[in-house]
Amino acid sequence: MEKRILGLDPGLAILGFGAITCTPGLTQLQSTKVNILDFGVIKTSADIEIGQRLCTLFDDLHTVIDNLQPDVVAIEKLFFYRMSSTIVVAQARGVVMLALAQHHLPYVEFTPAQIKLALTGYGNADKSEVQEAVARELDLAEIPQPDDAADALAVALTAWYQM
């Protein structure tokens, strides 16, 4: 039975999304088939008031969810860089959580270290190693762009590996 997983890399300026479909093999000898459904970003401009930026994230995320119809959503957990950036990312995550609740979607969360470990076998892998693993796992000739979309695909793949 096919499962659709939507990965999200939350941010206020850029929210990355990446959706995959996973179809288990019929027998233990058959491998699971994983394909990209879609990926991209939702952008908001720093020139716009923060409330309007959050509204844009909310509306556009609803559209993404309606179009992709995921079975489960995987979200990167908040990681503390600097307090000022952490607050705005937390606000964006709040909007994401509200949209998921309104769609009655189950979700799982992963820390950056969990994502790195799942994709590379090393919890301190750098960003390029994770992105190369995404391209390899999805049998892509190139790393998906922009980076936020590749990161969201990494979150979705991590969810699949944990199921």
Phi–psi pair at 58, nearest 5 degrees: -60, -50
How high is the pLDDT of residue 142? 94
Distance CA 43, CA 46 (A): 10
Catalytic residue among 60, 76, 126, 129: 76
d(CA 33, CA 147): 24
At 95-126, the pLDDT tens digits run 999 999 999 999 999 999 999 999 999 999 99
Mean pLDDT of 144-156: 96
- What is the enclosing helix (H) or strand (E) of 41? strand 33-43
Task: Answer whether residue 73 shows pLDDT above 60.
Answer: yes
The reply to whether 151 belongs to the active site is: no
Which residue bears the tokens 């969360």? 109
Strand 72-76, strand 33-43: pairing: unpaired
